Amino acid sequence: MGAAGAPEMSAAALADFRAATRAWLAKNCPAGARGPGPIPWGSSKVEVGADARLWLERMADRGWTVPTWPRRYGGAELDKDRYAVLVDELKRIDARPPLTGRGVNYIGPTLLELGDDDQKARWLPGIARGEGGWAMGYSEPGAGSDLASLSLRAVRHGDNYFLSGRKIWTSDAMQADYIFVLARTSPDKPKHQGISLILVDMAQPGAHVRPIRLLSGASPFNETLFENAVASAADVVGGVDNGWTVGKRLLQFERSTHAGINISGSQGGRTATSTLPPIVARYAGVANGRIVDAALRERLIRHEQNDHAQRLTQRRVIEETAARAPGFASSAVKLTGALNAQDGHEIRLAAMAVAGLGWQGDGFSAAEIEASRDWLRQKALTIAGGTKEIQLNIIAKRVLGLPD
Ligand SMILES: Cc1cc2nc3c(=O)[nH]c(=O)nc-3n(C[C@H](O)[C@H](O)[C@H](O)COP(=O)(O)OP(=O)(O)OC[C@H]3O[C@@H](n4cnc5c(N)ncnc54)[C@H](O)[C@@H]3O)c2cc1C
């Protein structure tokens, strides 16, 4: 049996699939959807280029924005073997994924697993086509790591829920068409039991977004305020007061996405070859084919080994996972990936020395300024989707079975 429980494909059938996929991609992937560049995430407020739009439409028509989803929800029902071939072939031509974001990667897979038939039919085909960008309303000023302390209220009147309260650190909320929120539906129950996961339309008078300005001048984060915002009772996912279970599963899809092991989303494409060795060599100097600084050389070798091990682990976890995305293993792979990415940026900065300290001004090239900003941005990797300490707690308790 194949890893997904489907009959093993014969080598010949897989080779045929590869040849057909390669031919189709060569013909249908526009030049402007290859190489670095923006990837659409469904937002109706973000302009994407003509080629990116065409790429999205063509891939959606084929079911390849969400290749493993059932056909009736916009997928192509690929098993893991064919999914891996598709990803390989996308990487071979350096194609960007046609669609990304919290729709295809987080809430879509959650609906597929825990939504009811009506929710799946109403939401999934649009998500697969990138019709609407999603934000994630989990964190609140008093509820980050201790998420179950959240206090956004959802009160039922008739067929609707009315939401009041405040979310924070809501990435991309100012451009989102929809948001999934964790809200308190039964304040009298113990805190983990009175929570529901609800889908909310952002285009309504009761939903307000306030950008949070960062030191860099950018505002990727927001405060999202709900003042009697309306959501349909039909859009409570996985049952009323069952949001803790549903919300935790969604977090596993998020962490799996960060970790590159969420096969139920839109991942794939773009070769992630390491650009670090040539940068370190350029700044730190090379003699006799070796980076001169022995300590830096050692760090770089260890980093590249870890990077390689991370990719092998990603492959292994995907092969071993029976479900659409791994459970608690997602915490481990997310954490090691984040730590290694941060380590790579530390090494790059160490090699660049003073050139890596630029923030603005003429003394630095655009690439150098980007390098120092990138180095800072990477620090968020061990906060977003649950902090490093929270992942370590999960690994200790749920993976290693250590006592509380
Ligand atoms: C780039 C980025 C994007 C984000 N996007 C979103 C988003 O779209 N939607 C959303 O809802 N949220 C988002 N967040 C918020 C994120 O989920 C929270 O920042 C995170 O869960 C931590 O919560 P907190 O900031 O309240 O920190 P706190 O929970 O206050 O933690 C502070 C420190 O205490 C430590 N700590 C807390 N509890 C424990 C414990 N039990 N054991 C050990 N150490 C502990 C933490 O590890 C951390 O170091 C984003 C964050 C970042 C950085």
Answer yes or no: is 4 within a domain: no
- pLDDT of the residue at 267: 67
What is d(CA 248, CA 325) in angstroms, rounded to the nearest whole number?
Answer: 13
What predicted TM-score, i.e. pTM, was given to this entire model? 0.94
Which among 247, 264, 284 is the end of a domain? Answer: 247
Q: Give distance in angstroms: CA of 304 to centre of ligand 1.
A: 29
My answer on whether 284 and 240 are in the same domain is: no
Answer yes or no: is 113 within a domain: no
**pLDDT by residue (tens digit) across 337-392?**
999 999 999 999 999 999 999 988 889 999 999 999 999 999 999 999 999 999 99
Ligand 1 atom closest to residue 393's alpha carbon, by position in its atom list: 42
- pLDDT of the residue at 8: 62
Which token pair is 270?
């773009």
CATH, residue 174: 2.40.110.10
CATH, residue 79: 1.10.540
What is d(CA 393, CA 404) in angstroms, rounded to the nearest whole number?
Answer: 9
Ligand 1 atom closest to residue 141's alpha carbon, by position in its atom list: 26
- pLDDT of the residue at 327: 84
Whether 393 is in the pocket of ligand 1, judged by its Cβ within 6 Å, is: yes
312-337 core/surface letters (b: 16 or more CB in 10 A; e: else):
ebbeebbeebeebbbbebbbbbbbbb
Task: List, in sequence order, the alpha helices (H) in 209-271.
Answer: 243-259
- pLDDT of the residue at 14: 95
Residue 311, domain extent: 273-399
Whether 389 is in the pocket of ligand 1, judged by its Cβ within 6 Å, is: yes
Which token pair is 150?
């959240």
Which token pair is 23?
């031919």
Q: What are phi and psi of 211, to 5 degrees?
A: -60, 145
- pLDDT of the residue at 301: 95
Report the candidate in 79, 67, 62 with the shortest Cα–Cα distance to residue 105. Answer: 67
Split into its structural domains, the chain has a count of 3
Which among 247, 264, 283 is the end of a domain? Answer: 247
Whether 171 is in the pocket of ligand 1, judged by its Cβ within 6 Å, is: yes
- pLDDT of the residue at 2: 40
Confirm whether 254 is a catalytic residue. yes
Answer yes or no: is 259 within a domain: no
Task: List, in sequence order, the alpha helices (H) in 11-64.
Answer: 11-28, 50-62
- Residue 353 CB contacts under 8 Å (≥ 6 apart), including other chains: 283
Answer yes or no: is 141 within a domain: yes
My answer on whether 35 and 77 are in the same domain is: yes
Q: Give distance in angstroms: CA of 17 to centre of ligand 1.
A: 43
Residues of the chain with pLDDT under 50: 1-5
Ligand 1 atom closest to residue 386's alpha carbon, by position in its atom list: 21
